Amino acid sequence: MKIVAFIGSPRKGGNTDRLVDEILAGAAEAGHQAEKIYLADYALTPIDAVYGGELDWTDPRQDVADELIDKIVAADVAILGSPVYWFSISGLMKLFIDRWSLYQRGGQRLRDLTAGKKMLVALAMADPNAGYVDAVLAPLRYGAKWLKMEWAGQIIADGVGDPGEVENHPELLAEARKLGQSL
Ligand SMILES: Cc1cc2nc3c(=O)[nH]c(=O)nc-3n(C[C@H](O)[C@H](O)[C@H](O)COP(=O)(O)O)c2cc1C
């Protein structure tokens, strides 16, 4: 299987990055190929007001967001890795996801092209045992459903604030690796 992983943290080598690396290591053991993309490396811009009414939900910009979304279309599994910022996913990840709305290829919208693919989510957050994790995951779960994608699981590294702090939690890294192996 082909995997594309998006990192929604500006902190390279941070907790999200490390968690996703472990998922990808597990996936490699299972024989899968993966590409990891740092969203912070791309000049992503917010969705524009070119939808609705007479318009056909096509983004005339056809910029880097579309190129990154092409990678989801070309893959079997999309991994979304995000730190929790303000009780939600990071703005960078949200901005990227919003751009999915105007994606079209050959007259087909994204949800026609993602049916049957898998989505897997990795979150890193400083709060331990936070009661709001389900609220953070909910839009992603609904998003997967909207895109007719199968939910392949999630891993939550909670109680990790400093960069690389997830290294102090071998049980989380083992869980991440197992998740990757299960793909
Ligand atoms: C702008 C900002 C907002 C944050 N909000 C939260 C939060 O609501 N809940 C939480 O548990 N941690 C919060 N954190 C802490 C990060 O989630 C935590 O440091 C995480 O490990 C960062 O992951 P990274 O190393 O991949 O960047 C916040 C950090 C930043 C910079």
Tell me the domain boundaries of the chain. Answer: 2-181
CA of 84 to the centre of ligand 1 (A): 5
Taking the centre of ligand 1 as the mean of its atom positions, its distance from the CA of residue 126, in whole angstroms, is: 6
pLDDT tens digits, one per residue of 129-178: 899 999 999 999 999 999 999 999 999 999 999 999 999 999 999 999 99
Cα torsion through 112, 113, 116, 118, rounded to 10:
-130
- Residues 6 or more apart from 127 whose CB is under 8 A from it? 84, 158, 159
Top CATH class of 2-181 equals alpha beta
Q: Which runs of consecutive H residues, i.e. helices, occur in 82-152?
A: 91-99, 110-113, 133-146
Residue nearest to atom 30 of ligand 1 (CA): 85
Angle, CA of 38, 65 and 134, to the nearest 5°: 65
Q: Tell me the pLDDT tens digit for each residue of 65-99.
A: 999 999 999 999 999 999 999 999 999 999 999 99
23 touches 176 (CB < 8 A): yes
